Amino acid sequence: MSTQVFYFVATLSIIFSLMVIFAKNPIHSVLYLILTFFTFTVHYVLLNAQFLAVVNFIVYMGAIMVLFLFVLMLLNLNKETEPVKSPLIKIVGVIAGCCLVVTLVGSFKAASINSPLILKNPGLGLVENLGKELFGPFLLPFELSSLLLLAAMVGAVLLSKRDEVEA
Amino acid sequence: MDTGFIIEKFILVAVIFGISLVIAMYSTYAERKVAAYLQDRLGPDRAGPFGILQPLADGIKMFMKEEIIPTTSNKWLFIVGPGLALLCACIGTAVIPWGSPMEIGGKIVPLQVADINVGVLYIFGVVSLGVYGVMIGGWASNNKYSLLSAIRAASQNISYEIAMGLSIIALLLMTNTLSLKTIVEQQHGWHWNVLYQPLGFLIFMVCSFAETNRAPFDLPECETELIGGYHTEYSSMKLGFYLFAEYINMFVSSAVMATLYFGGYNYPGMDYMATLLGPTWAPLFGTAILFAKIFFFIFFFMWVRWTIPRFRYDQLMNLGWKGLIPLAIANIIITGIVIAIIEKF
């Protein structure tokens, strides 16, 4: 049952993520990306990682993608106004894509050698266990990443402030 | 998963869905009656005794009107918008415990569709998703006023979600659980969370006014500035869906407020009533109490709408970012310190 659901949802994830790339209209791309994130949420639920599932739901679907959509609606991108990309950028894109393919193939080969990873504690994804892990063995990285986020926030505020002073 | 379980949940979902739709329908009637009372008018009184059939008449009118899809609009998204708004409004009811477990024919039936252990976060997620219906509809209309309204709705919802989340964090510090069922059970007897978290409740309530786009935060709908709002181009039942979604949102957020802060289905003298009525009828009495609380909050929503004038946009943003968010953070810190002191001694 769970395996069948996984294959169904995984197919949907791949289809939606391809649609993100192939959709002409940027707004449609964002909407397909939202659907892709929704399928990721289902994957997390299947992995019994309920907290990650709901956080993915709130943060990615509910907050970040709303901001994406918000910005795109303001920009009002049309096909006519989209600048034609230079061949140099296209070549760089192809090289970067090939690098990604090599990395992915390499990681898949490495993964097939190892035995599948089995969690010692299947309830690790529940809120209480995850919290104990984060504030226990992983306290330092957790606090450092929160510091990083704070720095990013202050930076964003500073960037928008500077314009005001110059004008 | 046996068939009995599926049938039981299916009946529960159908009943809750039906009740939410009926309540949303009669909320439109109640809104007009409350407005009429507050403004010393009579309100609708033509259809049936006291105008009680008015919502039905409105519904028939909505269905009979000509349905227009603007030629320059994005057809698919134009249709998806109102559907999404209604869907997001309805799915919030899934995790709310409507009553204590009820005994039917020797079988214990929980009056809650799903007791997931991240219930509070689920509600929060559904709330944050609610804005998509408005944004997609407003954008797909291909009308600058609708777009402006959609952008207003999005920025308002994002801003107030933060304060709402922070006010919930202070509550969760006390409850130690994210399951709505456990949160309600903890409030048994007079331990209503509003008594311990009055400031948190106030912030939560103001934010839920903003999240449901109700007055005084109804800036996405503004006839004088935006012709109508995000639904300017909509007609017929698609417009009806948007209006309906607003009332269902109001019902769900009233239910969440009653559950999180006002004890849910708990009431004083509950244990005595349980022995008096037996295990079948006592939970239903509790459900009736919960609905009484919900109706009070719905009335409160309407009361505020016809009492307080609309905010200006800069006032709205100032209140959200400079008023509510610092207050909510202070609330978290104070709650944390008090809990630490209590645990120490």
DSSP readout, B186-247?
HT-TT--HHHH-HHHHHHHHHHHHHHTT-TTS-TTB-HHHHTTBTTTT--HHHHHHHHHHHH
**Do residue A19 and residue A50 come from a single domain?**
yes
**Do residue A24 and residue A100 come from a single domain?**
no
Q: Average the pLDDT over B294-307 and give the result.
A: 89
First to last CA, chain B: 47
Place of tokens 């990083």: A148
In sequence order, which ranges of chain B are alpha helices (DSSP H)? Answer: 3-38, 54-64, 75-91, 119-129, 131-140, 144-175, 180-186, 193-196, 198-211, 223-226, 236-261, 270-305, 313-318, 325-344
Burial class (CB in 10 A: 0-12, 13-18, 19+), B64: exposed
User: At A148, is the pLDDT very low, low, confident or very high (cuts 50, 70, 90)?
Assistant: very high
Tally Cβ neighbours within 10 Å of residue B339: 14
- Candidate from A79-88, A134-143, B321-330 with smallest mean pLDDT: A79-88
Domain assignment of residue A104, given as a range: 83-122
* Residue B77 with chain A: CB contacts under 8 Å: 27, 31
Quick one: pLDDT at residue A97? 92
Say how far apart CA B148 and CA B155 lie, in whole Å: 11
- Contact yes or no for B129 and A61 at CB 8 A: yes
**Do residue A29 and residue A46 come from a single domain?**
yes
| pLDDT above 70: residue A162 | no
* Choice between B189 and B343, residue whose per-residue pLDDT is larger: B343
Q: Average the pLDDT over A148-165 and give the result.
A: 81
Which member of B154, B158, B178 has the closest CB to residue A127? B178
Do the strands B107-111 and B99-104 form a parallel or antiparallel pair, or are they unpaired? Answer: antiparallel
Q: Average the pLDDT over B18-46 and give the result.
A: 87
Domain assignment of residue B284, given as a range: 53-344
Q: Is residue B43 part of a domain?
A: no
Q: Is residue A127 part of a domain?
A: no
- Write out the two tokens for B282: 């006592």
**Do residue A118 and residue A41 come from a single domain?**
no
**Do residue A87 and residue A101 come from a single domain?**
yes
- Write out the two tokens for B9: 């949940």
* pLDDT tens digits for range B247-256: 898 898 899 9
Which helix (H) or strand (E) segment holds residue A102: the answer is helix A87-113
| pLDDT above 60: residue A78 | no
- Contact yes or no for B121 and A73 at CB 8 A: no
Which member of A27, A53, A73 has the closest CB to residue B151? A73
Cα dihedral value B329, B331, B337, B340, nearest 10 = -100
Cross-strand partners of B304: none
A116 secondary structure, DSSP code: P
Nearest residue on chain A to B77, alpha-carbon basis: A28
Nearest residue on chain A to B120, alpha-carbon basis: A54
User: At A120, is the pLDDT very low, low, confident or very high (cuts 50, 70, 90)?
Assistant: low
User: At A132, is the pLDDT very low, low, confident or very high (cuts 50, 70, 90)?
Assistant: confident
**Do residue A11 and residue A62 come from a single domain?**
yes
Say how far apart CA B126 and CA B118 lie, in whole Å: 12
Q: Is residue B161 part of a domain?
A: yes
* pLDDT tens digits for range A22-59: 887 888 888 899 889 989 988 888 887 888 888 888 88
Which member of B117, B125, B136 has the closest CB to residue A127? B117
Is B201 within 8 Å of B134 (Cβ atoms)? no
Which residues of chain A have a Cβ shorter than 8 Å from any chain B Cβ? 27, 31, 34, 50-51, 53-55, 57-58, 61-63, 66-67, 69-70, 73-74, 126-127
- With a pLDDT cut of 70, the percent of chain B lying above it is 100
**Do residue A61 and residue A39 come from a single domain?**
yes
- With a pLDDT cut of 90, the percent of chain A lying above it is 19
* pLDDT tens digits for range B199-222: 889 999 998 888 888 878 877 777
**Do residue A3 and residue A78 come from a single domain?**
yes
Give which of A1, A50, A75 to mutate to test B binding, by max B Cβ within 10 Å: A50
Q: Is residue B2 part of a domain?
A: no
Phi first, then psi, for residue B221 (nearest 5°) are -115, 115
Give which of B178, B182, B325 to mutate to test A binding, by max A Cβ within 10 Å: B178
Cβ contacts of B181-184, under 8 Å, gap ≥ 24? B181/B97, B181/B110, B181/B112, B181/B115, B181/B119, B183/B119, B183/B120, B183/B259, B183/B260, B183/B264, B184/B97, B184/B259, B184/B263, B184/B264, B184/B265, B184/B266
Tally Cβ neighbours within 10 Å of residue A30: 19
Which helix (H) or strand (E) segment holds residue A95: the answer is helix A87-113
Quick one: pLDDT at residue A15? 92
* pLDDT tens digits for range B151-179: 888 888 888 888 888 898 888 888 888 88
C-alpha distance from B157 to closest chain A C-alpha (Å): 10
User: At B243, is the pLDDT very low, low, confident or very high (cuts 50, 70, 90)?
Assistant: confident
**Do residue A94 and residue A25 come from a single domain?**
no
- Contact yes or no for A126 and B147 at CB 8 A: no
Total residue count of chain B as it appears in this document: 345
Tally Cβ neighbours within 10 Å of residue B2: 7
Q: Average the pLDDT over B326-336 and give the result.
A: 91
Q: Is residue A130 part of a domain?
A: no
* pLDDT tens digits for range B258-278: 888 888 888 877 777 777 777
Any chain A CB within 8 A of the CB of B145? Answer: no
C-alpha distance from A62 to closest chain B C-alpha (Å): 5
Q: Is residue B12 part of a domain?
A: no
**Do residue A14 and residue A69 come from a single domain?**
yes
Tally Cβ neighbours within 10 Å of residue A92: 11
- Contact yes or no for B150 and A63 at CB 8 A: no
Q: Average the pLDDT over B45-70 and give the result.
A: 84
Cα dihedral value A85, A86, A87, A92, nearest 10 = -80
Please state the domain count of chain B.
1
| pLDDT above 70: residue A92 | yes
Q: Is residue B25 part of a domain?
A: no
Q: Which of B 176-235 lie inside 8 A of A, CB atoms? A: 178
**Do residue A107 and residue A88 come from a single domain?**
yes
Helix (H, G, I), strand (E, B) or coil at B99: strand
Nearest residue on chain B to A128, alpha-carbon basis: B177
Please state the domain count of chain A.
3
Quick one: pLDDT at residue A102? 93
Cα dihedral value B123, B126, B128, B133, nearest 10 = -150
* Choice between B256 and B103, residue whose per-residue pLDDT is larger: B256
Q: Is residue A106 part of a domain?
A: yes
Tally Cβ neighbours within 10 Å of residue B78: 20
ipTM of the complex: 0.79
Q: Is residue B18 part of a domain?
A: no
What's A21's domain CATH number? 1.20.120.1200
Measured at the alpha carbon of residue B135, what is the angle toward residues B134 and B141, in degrees to the nearest 5?
A: 90
| pLDDT above 70: residue B145 | yes
**Do residue A110 and residue A41 come from a single domain?**
no
Q: Is residue A129 part of a domain?
A: no
Q: Is residue B19 part of a domain?
A: no
Count the alpha carbons within 13 Å of B37 in the hemisphere toward its beta carbon: 10
